[in-house]
Structure 1
């Protein structure tokens, strides 16, 4: 059986452990795909949903059109357990805390985990209602090149020190009541969307 909702179009198995990876994906690249595969394996997830956002409130310049970013994401991420979704556009939410609240209401049996790179943990305290994110669902953090030390001493990591679980228990993260978070050091690919745009590898937008 699945929890389906007509608003987002998502159909998720009841009781499933589902990772949510949000971002503008402007453009999606193999680095996104790599951390997604690592998250599926290391956090014991049944599914991962890429939440391709309408835009990033922290960035002044808007991304390429949503349809182009969605199409590029589907080309990059070909995996039977990964869904590329425009749920935030459908829901009309602009901030992660709002998106999580809505998705949890629409899929009450699903065990969601918010996924992010270590670079986002470093600046999480700048996000709208960032504590609500930590308090609503477990958070899985995957290290990226150059961000390990600064992320682990960030505002969010200091505030939620007692909620951190060790890497050895990472597969249990979806089953632990929030607040709970886990920082994983994984083999990373040193590639970014901004670098791709700067070298002309992404011409949309």
Structure 2
């Protein structure tokens, strides 16, 4: 979507745009329910769900990025506000979130409220990411917290966070970027992509773990077998 097509809302008509990256190997109902609740909690205009061809700090995904994008598109279907975004597939080498955020910032403009959402596990390693301080120059960071998980930040992470943390979404959206919000979503679905891949490999049921369209595609194409 071009900048002139960007939806307008939020402060002074600025669009609220989210980015949720991951391997989505495969996308499951936990991913999608979190995306819907994130979209609602932050009153986003659009949430870009972006499969990473090769995450720098993780092993290589089991299925090719093009297949994972197709599964993501099938899983999202016509869900309002969610968008399967394959922009990182065109890049060579590791997928750096800062580069993707820079693209989104250019598309939606300097006033857009741009948010990168990630889970607590990924957030605990944020200081090890490529150009971590640049992330805050481009966007807000929203950490999807897990009440049962206790995060012990390292000194490097604490230095990176500084005084950025705000109390709620309203405070976060007062500026285009630079804030940090910990957000506990209503539904916490303990679904594991690793366990799903294992089940598919063994020919066991994945019913009600995946959207029906994703299950049909994965089984018919024998993607994890």
- Cα separation, 1, equivalents of 2:72 and 2:49: 9
Give the structure 2 partner of residue 90 of structure 1: 90
Provide TM-score, normalisation by structure 2.
Answer: 0.76
- Cα separation, 2, equivalents of 1:157 and 1:86: 32
Give the structure 2 partner of residue 192 of structure 1: 192
**Does the 8 A contact of 1:91 with 1:99 survive in 2?**
no
Q: Which ranges of structure 2 fall in alignment gaps of 5 or more residues? A: 9-13, 201-205, 207-217
**Does the 8 A contact of 1:44 with 1:172 survive in 2?**
no
Provide TM-score, normalisation by structure 1.
Answer: 0.82
RMSD: 2.5
Q: Size of the alignment, in residue pairs?
A: 195
**1:82 to 1:157, Cα distance in 2 relative to 1, 3 A:** farther
Q: Which ranges of structure 1 fall in alignment gaps of 5 or more residues? A: 5-10
- Cα separation, 1, equivalents of 2:138 and 2:181: 15
Give the structure 2 partner of residue 174 of structure 1: 173
Q: Secondary structure at the match of 1:116?
A: strand
Q: Which has a greater percent of strand?
A: 1
Give the structure 1 partner of residue 203 of structure 2: none
After superposition, give the CA deviation of every residue in 1:159-189 in whole Å (9 maximum; x if it has no partner). 31411011xx224423324320100122311
Answering whether residue 23 of structure 2 is matched by residue 24 of structure 1, we say yes
Q: Secondary structure at the match of 2:20?
A: strand
Give the structure 2 partner of residue 12 of structure 1: 6
- Cα separation, 2, equivalents of 1:157 and 1:88: 29
Q: From the CA coordinates, give the structure whose radius of gyration is larger.
A: 2
After superposition, give the CA deviation of every residue in 1:4-38 in whole Å (9 maximum; x if it has no partner). 6xxxxxx5325310110011111111111111111
